[in-house]
Structure formats: C-alpha cells, structure tokens
C-alpha cells in the first residue's frame, strides 16, 4: 500500500480509504454488517496497509463511529498512525431506525420528532463534534439553511478546539465549494483540504466544474462510490441485497439502463485481463491524477482483498485507458484517410475498366470489394473521430472481413479462362468446376461471415460478441482453405503445362506446336503473374484474420493497430491494384487462335492417346 499527500496539506492518507457505511445496525439498512464483522473488516484493511478510515455520524445513527472507536481500542491501532475522517450534516436518530433524509438542509419531519438544531452545519449542530475526536471533519452536504460564514466559522472553531486537525467537504456544487473556500481563505479561517464527491466510470459530471476548481485550490479528491453502489462490480443482470434495499442504490437503479454499455465494457476488460470488474473500476479511478484516494466499502472480506489488490497493482498491470474503447485503441486519422483515398482510386479504376473493357463480371467482384473496403475504412475514420462509438467498430470489422470475398470470386473466374486457353488436359479438374466449387465456397464463407458480423454487431454482452466472432472465424477459415486449394491446383496446372505433363491423356487436336511457354501469348503470362501476386497477398491477409479472430476480441492482435494496417489494409489494396495493372479485360482479349484449344480434354469420350514426337 502506498501513501499520498491529501491535496496541498501535509497529511498523508493510504491509496485506498476504507468507508465504514457498511458497518452498524440492521435497522438502518438490511445489508449493513454488525459490530463483529465490522471490526474484522477494519483489521483486514489495517493489516493490508489501509490506515485511513471514513465514517459519518449518520451511518447507522452513530453506530459506525462507535464500531470504529471500539476497533481502534480492541485492535490497539496506533492513534498517531491512523487517519479518522467523519462527516456531519444529516439527522442522527436517538434510537435504531432507518435513514431520515435531510432535504436541502431542512427537515420539518425531523423537527417534529425533536431533532431541531441537531442536523445541518450551524454552530449548534457542530457542538456535537466535541464527543468525537477525528483527524478530519467533513461537511456531508451543503446546508442551504445556514449562511456560509457561520458554517466556515463553526468548522474553524472545531479545529481550534482540537477536535479535528483538518476539514473537508462532500457532495456539493462547484460554485458552492468555491464560495466556501474563498470565504475561509479571505477571512483567515481553516480552508478545506479534501473534497469527498461521487466520481466513477458512470458518473463523471465532476470533470466539468468541480475537478478544475479542486486543482485551482490544491484540494485533494477522495471520491466515494468508485463502484457506483456496486453496479460496476458485477455483470449487468446480477443484483445484490444492497441494490434491492439501499435508498441510494434505488436512486441509481433508474439510470442503470443508460450505463449498460459502460458496465458491459468493464466486464469485457475484466474478462480479457482475468481480473474482477471491481478491480477495473477502482484501477480506472486510481489512474486519474486528480484522485488522491477513492473510498471503498465492502460487506465481504474477499471483496475487500480484491480491491486492495487493485490498489497494489503496478501501473503496467492496470488497464490501459484505451482498453475500454471498441477498437482497444484510437484509430489513427491520417491512416484512415490514406486508405480511403487509395481504395477510392483503385475502385474507381476498376469500375472504369469494367465498363470500357466490357468485363462486367468485375463489377460484382472487384468493384464490390472496393466498396466494402471503403465502408470499412470509413468506419475506422469514424472511430478516430468518435473512439467510443461501438457502431464504428462493428462497421469496419464486418465490412473489411467480408469485402475480400468478392475479390477471390474474381480470381476464381479468371483462372478457368486461362486453363481453357492453354489446355484443359493440364488441369486436375474441368475449368467450369473451378467456378462452381470455389465460388460456392466463397459464397458460403461470405454468408457465414455476414451472419457472424450481424450477430456480433447486435450483441449486448461480451459473450454474444464472442459468439459472433467465432462464426466469422469459421467463414474466414473456409475462405482460407478455398484459396489455398485454388492456389495448389493453379500451381499444379502451371507446372504441368511448363513441362508438358498432362493430368489427362491428350487427344489429337490438343497437340501443342511448341514446348514450354514458347508461343504463349504475353497477355496470359502477365495475367498469371497478376493472379500469383494477388493470391499471395490474399493468403497473407486471410492468415492474419484467422489468427486475429482466434486470438479473440480483446487479444493482442486485434488490439494492435499496426497489425491491421500492414496485414489487412495494405495486402488488400496491393491485390486490388494488381488487378488494375494486370486486368483480364486487357490481357485476355484478342488471344491468338493458334494456341486456343478447340476441344476439351473433358468433353470427348473418344480420347486417342498420343506419344510425344
């Protein structure tokens, strides 16, 4: 456990502060632990290095303060080492009973029950502090009924009388804190050294006004409820006794749906790092430089140890601030713009070539691939502009996974044309089967990837996204197998043609005039070269995607931007640009009829075997 200065004061507090709201009487709250369990928690916290304890007179109507006092005496905790913080403002019942809320510093109900002048921040209300010696006395809430001058003078008197060493404020507006602090400073009174306000992943309003104010005054921030009444410590659908019965938890319940995405992100990060959701939430709070020490409260010793582990974690063990983002990083803007320009140019080129060279089959293949890549990179740039947008992430990952399927379809159409030109006897199977088998596999892979992408995009839980990712992985694997098999068959064809080693008996009309590649039109040679280049880059990209999805949504591969740029964006662009240069509309037209094979090795049942002369 480390210890840090509280604001600009000389007081040091532990990096975690144990809140004692959970220890007291069941009459005050059904979820509250009794004295014995409370003392056990205080001992466990102290043994772990926590020497700062926060309580309030209203917690279990004073029983929380008494339990702390008994623990200090029973455990023989050194008073010169520990820091005790308490708060005043609310109504403290004389007998056990539930919390009596004070509205804006006034409560006719409390007055009717005989609690007049026994709550709020007046001088009279502060007189009760004489019975409780503390290091820091805090105002639990702002008192609208008592003048600021009276409140600050009363707090100063408490310090002068020796009942407290420092003062702090809790849960007020920035303008109120500013007015109170200014009054103390300008009138030579004791100023606040701490602000105990609500601050966590689902409540960040303090960042607007309060945090800049605290920085200006050099006041330390010790936020309460870093777990937001526990909703950041458990999966979205789970609940607890406190969540069902606590007055404050019921208020937060109304905003739970608004916070659903954040809770799911916390759960996602926790699973990826094999830590608890509570550790993620506390580590996030500790990562903020304005936070001195968050106040944590638990009703379980195991949960307390879990939170202590989060505080003791090194900076390298804590979640990266970008880890809760859909991409797990912020996509680089200029890279997105660069690929948008490159894919726009190559796609426009393919559309122009498809029309002018009358190769319309390139429109539903290469042109459509380019459109998909443009949508994907638009999603990545959208993610740069709005890193928290989950739709941008799903838009890019779905389209960039699906788009190359259209390009492989073009490859599966081009090779059969070349086989027909050079000689079907050198091919392991008829040219028409290339289109039937491989395009069928391509369409199957496309459908599976689209289904997985749709499932992942509409998923509202990490498990749903993972299932969608696994389905997409299945489609990628099918595509990879198809491309590898296509490559093997194509390579075998080229080798057999080069050495005149037919895969099937030749017939009379299939006799070649020249051996090797002599006399073969240059267009075919160039087209085969282009196919080879594009195929290599498609395989590189498919292997990368397979590894990426196998590694998972939170894996190192998908979380590293440079991997995506170099092993997905770049290979697909190079493959598309290769077909701009080696375009079948240019290279496979006006072929010399001398080398065209008029009869297929698969079309005649009357094959005549010939020996080479």
State pLDDT tens for residues 480-496. 999 999 999 999 999 99
Q: Where is average pLDDT lowest: 186-190, 570-574, 601-605?
A: 601-605
Contact 340, 381 (CB under 8 A): yes
Q: Is residue 400, in this structure, part of any structural domain at all?
A: no
Percent of all residues in the chain with a pLDDT value above 90, rounded to a whole number = 54
Using the CB atoms, write b or e for 473-504: b if 16+ within 10 Å. bbbbbbbbebbeebbebbeebbebbeeeebeb
Question: What is the value of pTM for the model shown?
Answer: 0.59
* Residues 423, 569 within the same domain: yes
Percent of all residues in the chain with a pLDDT value above 70, rounded to a whole number = 81
* Residues 412, 535 within the same domain: yes
3-class state of residue 516 by DSSP:
coil
The pLDDT, as a whole number, for residue 148 is 95
Contact 538, 568 (CB under 8 A): no
Residue 579 has pLDDT above 90, yes or no: yes
Q: Which of 313, 348, 372 marks a domain boundary? A: 313
Q: Give the pairing of strands 192-196 and 220-221.
A: parallel
Q: What gap in Å lies between CA 297 and CA 224, rounded to an integer?
A: 9
Q: What is residue 224's DSSP assignment?
A: B
* Average pLDDT for 452-478: 81
* Residues 78, 188 within the same domain: yes
* Residues 296, 429 within the same domain: no
How large is the C-alpha radius of gyration of the chain?
A: 36
Domain count, the chain: 2
* Residues 414, 522 within the same domain: yes
The pLDDT, as a whole number, for residue 293 is 94
Q: Is residue 42, in this structure, part of any structural domain at all?
A: yes
The pLDDT, as a whole number, for residue 605 is 39
Residue 354 has pLDDT above 50, yes or no: yes
Q: What gap in Å lies between CA 23 and CA 35, rounded to an integer?
A: 7
Residue 126 has pLDDT above 50, yes or no: no
Q: Where is average pLDDT lowest: 225-239, 351-365, 514-528?
A: 514-528
* Residues 168, 303 within the same domain: yes
Q: Is residue 370, in this structure, part of any structural domain at all?
A: no
Residue 594 has pLDDT above 50, yes or no: no
The pLDDT, as a whole number, for residue 342 is 98
Q: Apex CA 8: angle with CA 7 and CA 12, to 5°? A: 65
Range of the domain at 447: 406-595
Burial class of 198 by CB neighbour count within 10 A (0 to 12, 13 to 18, 19+)? buried
> With bands split at pLDDT 50, 70 and 90, how would you rate the model's confidence at 261?
confident
Dihedral of alpha carbons 174, 177, 183, 188, sign: negative
> With bands split at pLDDT 50, 70 and 90, how would you rate the model's confidence at 319?
low
Which CATH number is 60's domain given?
A: 3.20.20.100
Contact 32, 67 (CB under 8 A): no
Q: What is the pLDDT of residues 3-33, one digit of tens each?
A: 999 999 989 999 999 999 999 888 877 888 9
Q: Which of 279, 313, 347 marks a domain boundary? A: 313
Q: Is residue 573, in this structure, part of any structural domain at all?
A: yes
* Residues 46, 173 within the same domain: yes
More confident residue, 433 or 508: 433
- Secondary structure of 361-410 in HEC code, one letter for each residue: HHHHHHHHHHHHHHHHHHHHHHHHHCCCCHHHHHHHHHHHHHCHHHHHHH
* Residues 304, 453 within the same domain: no
Average pLDDT value over all residues in the chain: 84
More confident residue, 255 or 455: 455
Determine the number of helices (DSSP H) and then strands (DSSP E) in the chain.
Answer: 23, 10
The pLDDT, as a whole number, for residue 464 is 76
More confident residue, 397 or 381: 381
The pLDDT, as a whole number, for residue 453 is 79
Tally the residues of the chain.
613
Q: What is the pLDDT of residues 470-484, one digit of tens each?
A: 898 999 999 999 999
* Average pLDDT for 353-379: 96
Q: What is the pLDDT of residues 41-97, one digit of tens each?
A: 999 999 999 999 999 888 888 888 899 989 999 999 988 888 999 888 877 765 665
> With bands split at pLDDT 50, 70 and 90, how would you rate the model's confidence at 384?
very high
Residue 329 has a CB neighbour count (10 Å cut-off) of 18
Closest listed residue to residue 223, CA positions, set 279, 266, 285: 285
Q: Is residue 353, in this structure, part of any structural domain at all?
A: no
Q: Is residue 600, in this structure, part of any structural domain at all?
A: no
Contact 64, 56 (CB under 8 A): yes
> In what helix (H) or strand (E) does residue 168 lie, and over which residues does it extend?
strand 166-170
Contact 150, 123 (CB under 8 A): yes
Q: Is residue 240, in this structure, part of any structural domain at all?
A: no
The pLDDT, as a whole number, for residue 515 is 53
Closest listed residue to residue 576, CA positions, set 320, 400, 441: 400
> In what helix (H) or strand (E) does residue 295 lie, and over which residues does it extend?
strand 295-296
The pLDDT, as a whole number, for residue 113 is 52
Q: For residue 566, what are the contacts with CB-CB under 8 A and spacing of at least 6?
A: none
The pLDDT, as a whole number, for residue 130 is 42
* Average pLDDT for 147-175: 93
Q: Which of 119-128, 224-233, 359-368, 423-432 is predicted most confidently? A: 359-368
Which residues have a catalytic role annotated? 59
* Residues 454, 309 within the same domain: no
The pLDDT, as a whole number, for residue 271 is 83
* Average pLDDT for 293-301: 92
Q: Is residue 565, in this structure, part of any structural domain at all?
A: yes
* Residues 201, 58 within the same domain: yes
> With bands split at pLDDT 50, 70 and 90, how would you rate the model's confidence at 394?
confident
Q: What is the pLDDT of residues 516-574, one digit of tens each?
A: 677 788 999 999 999 999 999 999 999 999 999 898 877 889 889 999 999 999 999 99
The pLDDT, as a whole number, for residue 246 is 56
């Amino acid at each position: 456990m480390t210890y840090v200065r509280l604001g600009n004061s000389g007081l040091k507090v532990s990096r975690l502060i144990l809140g004692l709201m959970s220890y007291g009487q069941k009459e005050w709250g059904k979820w509250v632990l009794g004295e014995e369990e409370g003392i056990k928690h205080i001992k466990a916290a102290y043994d772990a290095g926590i020497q700062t304890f926060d309580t309030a007179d209203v917690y279990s109507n004073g029983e929380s303060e008494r339990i702390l006092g008994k623990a200090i005496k029973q455990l023989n905790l050194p008073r010169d080492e520990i820091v005790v913080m308490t708060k005043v403002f609310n109504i403290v019942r004389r007998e056990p009973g539930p919390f009596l809320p004070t509205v804006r510093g006034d409560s006719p109900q409390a007055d009717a029950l005989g609690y007049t002048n026994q709550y709020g921040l007046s001088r009279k209300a502060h007189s009760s502090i004489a019975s409780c010696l503390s290091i820091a006395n805090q105002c639990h809430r702002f008192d609208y009924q008592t003048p600021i001058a009276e409140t600050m003078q009363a707090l100063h008197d408490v310090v002068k009388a020796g009942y407290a060493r420092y003062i702090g404020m809790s849960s007020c507006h920035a303008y109120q804190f500013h007015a109170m602090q200014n009054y103390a400073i300008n009138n030579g009174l004791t100023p606040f050294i701490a602000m105990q306000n609500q601050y966590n992943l689902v409540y960040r309003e303090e960042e607007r006004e309060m945090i800049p104010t605290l920085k200006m005054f050099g006041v330390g921030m010790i936020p309460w409820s870093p777990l937001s009444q526990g909703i950041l410590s458990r999966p979205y659908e789970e609940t607890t006794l406190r969540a069902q019965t606590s007055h404050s938890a019921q208020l937060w319940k109304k905003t739970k749906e608004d916070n659903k995405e954040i809770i799911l992100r916390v759960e996602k990060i926790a699973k990826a790092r094999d830590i608890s959701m509570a550790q993620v939430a506390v580590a996030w709070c500790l990562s903020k430089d304005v936070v001195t020490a968050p106040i944590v409260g638990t009703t379980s010793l195991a949960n307390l140890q879990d939170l202590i582990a989060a505080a003791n974690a090194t900076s390298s063990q804590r979640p990266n601030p970008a880890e809760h983002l859909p991409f797990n990083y912020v996509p680089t803007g200029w890279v997105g713009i660069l690929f948008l320009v490159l894919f726009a140019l190559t796609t426009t080129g393919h559309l122009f070539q498809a029309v002018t060279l009358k190769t319309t089959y390139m429109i539903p293949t290469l042109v459509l691939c380019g459109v998909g890549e443009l949508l994907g990179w638009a999603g990545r740039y959208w993610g740069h502009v709005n890193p928290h947008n989950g739709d941008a992430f799903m838009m890019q990952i779905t389209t960039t996974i699906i788009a190359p399927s259209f390009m492989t379809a073009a490859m599966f159409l081009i090779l059969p044309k070349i086989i027909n030109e050079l000689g079907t006897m050198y091919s392991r199977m008829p040219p028409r089967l290339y289109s039937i088998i491989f395009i069928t596999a391509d369409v199957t892979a496309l459908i599976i990837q689209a289904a997985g992408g749709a499932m992942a995009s509409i998923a509202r839980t990490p498990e749903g996204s993972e299932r969608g990712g696994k389905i997409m992985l299945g489609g990628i694997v099918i595509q990879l197998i198809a491309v590898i098999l296509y490559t093997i068959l194509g390579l075998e064809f080229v080798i057999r043609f080069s050495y005149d080693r037919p895969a099937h008996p030749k017939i009379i009309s299939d006799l070649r005039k020249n051996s090797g590649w002599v006399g073969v039109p240059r267009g075919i040679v160039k087209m085969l070269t282009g196919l080879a280049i594009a195929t290599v880059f498609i395989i590189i990209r498919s292997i990368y995607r397979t590894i990426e999805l196998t590694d998972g949504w939170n894996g190192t591969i998908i979380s590293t931007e440079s991997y995506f740029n170099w092993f997905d964006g770049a290979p697909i662009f190079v493959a598309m640009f290769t077909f701009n240069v080696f375009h079948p509309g240019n290279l496979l037209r006006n072929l010399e009829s001398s080398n065209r094979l008029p009869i297929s090795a698969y079309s005649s049942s009357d094959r005549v075997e010939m020996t080479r002369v």
